[in-house]
Amino acid sequence: MNELEQLAAVQENGYAIQYIKNPSEQVQLAAVQKYGKAIEYIENPSEKVQLAAVQQDGRAIRYIKNPSEKVQLAAVQQDVEALEYIKNPSEQVQLAAVQQDGEAIEYIENPSEKVQLAAVQQDVEALEYIKNPTINVQMYAKLIY
């Protein structure tokens, strides 16, 4: 199968990538732009392919080994619930998620006070997902509730 046929196949169905041996980056991009989770079938995808996958479907990050912070940010910007699939997200990634949806804090194991505050500022009901809210966070929530 030549590259044009490969492109046609993955544009029709992104999952077709799993049947293509050593697909070019162009074919990989076409597959994940159609269906982000097709990245599961790509061995060692480049950061460009990873970004395209999570921009199409943030939860595709679950199939990426050691995603860069840039890829993590793109994933949570596309879908805050992608945070659930990120091991040890940086504070910047955590903030990006909770600033969109405060309740995303439920996916963060030990959020810093800064992240707790950002979550509660976005949605006061996020407080219920914080195991040990700091005094400042509790006071802020009381003030606005």
In order, the DSSP letters of 125-138 are: GGGGG-SS--HHHH
Domain ranges for the chain: 1-87, 88-145
The two structure tokens encoding residue 114: 């800064």
pLDDT at 101 over 90: yes
Q: In angstroms, rounded to a whole number, what is the distance separating the alpha carbons of residues 120 and 115?
A: 9
pLDDT tens-digit profile of 11-47?
A: 999 999 999 999 999 999 999 999 999 999 999 999 9
pLDDT at 95 over 80: yes
pLDDT for the residue 143: 87
DSSP state of 4: H
pLDDT for the residue 118: 97
pLDDT at 89 over 90: yes
Confidence of residue 59 (pLDDT cuts 50, 70, 90): very high
pLDDT tens-digit profile of 124-135?
A: 999 999 999 999
Flag whether the pTM goes above 0.85: yes
